[in-house]
Amino acid sequence: MTARSASRLAWSTWAIVVALCAGSLALLGLDLHTHVTGIFGFRGSTLLEGASYGTVGALVASRRRENPVGWLFLAAGLLSAAQGFGLEYGIRGILAEPRSLPGTNVAALVQNVAWIPSLGLITLLFLLFPSGRLPSPRWTPVAWLAPAAMALMTLGVLLTPGPLETLRVSNPAGVEGLRRFLDAAAGLGLLAAGAGLIASAAAMLVRLRHARGEERAQLKWFVYAAAVVAVAILPSTLASDGVLPGGGVFSSLLMVAIAGVPVAAGIAILRYRLYDIDLIVRRTLVYGVLTAGLAGLYFGIVLALQQVFSPITQGSELATAGSTLAVAALFRPGRRRVQELVDRRFYRSKVDAARTVEAFSARLRREIELEALSAALAGAVVQAVQPAHVSLWLRSAGRQT
């Protein structure tokens, strides 16, 4: 495929994604207040995912046509956009205005099935990112396992008779006589997809361990985005099960995190501000730990003060005010302490460099011998930044500049 053909195909597919997202958004505006159960996250989450995956996929595929990663992102964006449009179209024609639109059962079927191929795409992305090639030939069976699992799951859900999830209409493609076979195929496909996903994640970690230079920085971006998604899954799952309050909030945050994966991958592949990832990871660790710690402290103080002052106040206003003031007072020293812990654990070279500079500054105040000071300066530079060569030029006292 020529560069022009690849660019045309990529941006034509992106135009379809945009059209589906625009149609979904219009239908969502019409039926925003229609009550729908069984939706994970917010109703516009698939539109966000379709736009992010499709746009990044089009950018990468049009500029790096030989790299399959861009095409995989573009396919994921198309699937997400189709899923979102099928959902909103079905809501309009089934729940909001029954029998007002044709083909609503087909739209509901698309919404019910479109997410399944995404599992296979994610597995392939883990295997192929960032170069578009497998880490080694031994990972070839995992690469074949992903489409096989995707095909089994899709077949099982596509042809299983009965009501579809979310919109609860009859499956227009269901085959009653194949129910047992389809259930077994869907279950086997789910197991294969899970095994493939775990194996592909292991392949990415192996690649990260052996990568150097630019490829390592690229992998850091992708692993960082995937780690954010993994961290967001637990509170979202607990909230959806009723263990934690705010289920919609946590589910929406998870959807936003998923939409951020292609953005991180696009930055890595297109090499835009590539090496800023260390600063972003550092800030995430610091403020993530700080937020979790202060939130736990806040709720702990609220509960404690409620127990102490409940006979007097018969309410929690004083407890809430006291907890807020305590957390506000602890923010700056808490951030400083967490920063030191993160730097000491994950950024040891930065801590060592700071200590080296501090030690040299103390010696600079005491030392009066120029030769000893020059040697100390050269040693501090070598220890702090580890250059290949160090040279020190001194200007004579009587030289004009």
Q: Max Cα separation, the chain? A: 100
- Average pLDDT over the chain, rounded to whole? 77
Structure-token pair, residue 192: 């294969």
Q: 19-51 in b/e burial notation, b at 16+ Cβ within 10 A?
A: ebbebbeebbeebeeeebeeebbbbbbbbbbbb
For residue 185, what is the DSSP state? Answer: H
Cβ contact 52:80 at 8 Å: no
Peptide bond into 147 cis (omega under 30): no
Cβ contact 182:175 at 8 Å: yes
Residue where the block lists tokens 């996929």: 57
pLDDT at 165: 80
Distance (Å, whole) CA 205 – CA 129 = 11
Q: How distant is the alpha carbon of residue 371 from its chain centre?
A: 53
CB atoms within 10 A of CB 201: 17
Structure-token pair, residue 284: 């995430």
pLDDT at 401: 43
Q: How distant is the alpha carbon of residue 83 from its chain centre?
A: 20
pLDDT at 358: 66
Tens digits of residue pLDDT in 183-197: 888 888 888 888 888
CB atoms within 10 A of CB 301: 18
pLDDT at 288: 61
Q: 321-332 in b/e burial notation, b at 16+ Cβ within 10 A?
A: ebbeeebeebee
Query: What pTM does this model have?
Result: 0.69
pLDDT at 286: 61
CA angle 360, 333, 352 (to 5 degrees): 25
Nearest of 164, 167, 163, 162 to residue 36 by alpha carbon: 167
Structure-token pair, residue 281: 């990871």
Structure-token pair, residue 373: 């000071």
For residue 164, what is the DSSP state? Answer: P
φ, ψ (nearest 5 deg) of residue 163: -70, 140
Distance (Å, whole) CA 46 – CA 82 = 9
Q: Which CATH class is domain 3-272?
A: mainly alpha
Under 8 Å CB-to-CB from 77, ≥6 apart: which residues?
Answer: 14, 17, 49, 50, 51, 52, 53, 54, 55, 56, 57, 262
Tens digits of residue pLDDT in 292-332: 666 666 667 666 666 665 555 455 565 566 666 666 676 67
| Range(s) within the chain of domains with CATH label 1.20.1070 | 3-272
Question: Which residues does the chain have with pLDDT short of 70?
Answer: 38, 40-42, 239-248, 272-299, 301-328, 330-331, 334-335, 338-401
Residue 78: how many CA atoms within 13 Å on its side-chain side? Answer: 18
Query: How far apart are the two ends of the chain, measured CA to CA in Å?
Result: 61
Distance (Å, whole) CA 302 – CA 297 = 8
Cβ contact 88:24 at 8 Å: yes
Cβ contact 49:255 at 8 Å: yes
- Residue 236 to residues 214, 233, 241, 251, 255, Cα–Cα distance (Å): 34, 5, 9, 5, 10
